[in-house]
A and B are shown apart, each in its own frame.
Chain A
Amino acid sequence: MENRLTIALPKGRLGNEVLEFMKQADLPTDGVDPNARTLMFDFAEEGVTYLICKPTDVPTFVEYGVADIGVVGKDTLEESGADVFELADLGFGFCRFAVAVTEELRDKHSVDGKFPLTDFTQHRVATKFTHVADRYFRSLGMQMEIIKLHGNVELAARIGLSDMIVDIVSTGTTLRENGLVEVAQIFPATARLIANRVSYRMKNESIVTVVDRMREILAESGK
């Protein structure tokens, strides 16, 4: 059986953290730069190839098997709905999905300091993460009109395009600066190691070796 591994890495900030982690896990990383123009790094001797992709494309590369494993934020993974195996929580890259509204709206409707979210069924919500938002509101029995935006989502609530937004929040600074407040948490997200369904079976030994090493590191660092 084939034992070479192709690994999809996200470019950007998460990419640097992932790379650092890969290094700790004894994978070859010399010269790999997730933010360079080179999109493939090949370590023939060690049998490892890295593909550098946009974070939102990592689940796609893995789902279709051009990469055997990959690292991606749970936020991106949830939104993609990709049919992949989620093998380990790597603990870093923390952020959370949250529902936010303007301060005015919160103050006007809150009862005993609690925002009555479900009263806002059949209202508008703007988000980049339409699938996550859709699933969340359904789970509350709410029907929402979801408006897909590609960035600067805070603006939508502020100028009245929508009544609320769903977005990822890490520190909350962006929300505050735009006069928005978090009224509900959807779920926390961290970086995940994912695997292609077939690679997981056909290259099980190579993949499990990597996963076990990563789990050891996580256990050592107490995450």
Chain B
Amino acid sequence: MKTKYMNPYLAGFFLGLVLLAAIFVTGRGLGASGAIKSIVIAAVDGVAPAHAEQSLFYGSYVGAGKDNPLKSWIVFEIAGVLIGGFLSGLISGRLKFVSEGGPRISVRSRWIFAAIGGALFGIGAQFARGCTSGAALTGMAVLSTAGFVTMMAIFGSGYMIAFFFRKLWI
């Protein structure tokens, strides 16, 4: 049985409460791209520790006396997102191996574009020190200037280029 999605305003209110709980209890908000960064750092450190320690980018996270990058707040939080998303899909009957995309592109093209989009998001999130969750949403909730700048840049560029990529979605 497939159930309907929640009213978006109600879902937004609950999402806001989750974010508020994170701020109130831990003093920091939500995030996502930081977990991907931690995975990359742990992988590079595991495969080539000398390279990781010398690197300008990874160097400050690895080496003697540093915790495993995977033992971080953001990695545990994202593990929770996997569990929470799965539970929600389970009770709403939405667990299914499937790919989604616009009516005019093949599944294989959709995969390639998804990977390219993911790579761009990963790169952009490094420059902006966070993605839609960590920089934009949390940043807006704590009234950080960076949060509003990042949010406007993401959606601004999205709207400017949407026309050129319309075949992917409509």
Q: A and B, one complex?
A: no
Contacts from A to B (Cβ < 8 Å): none
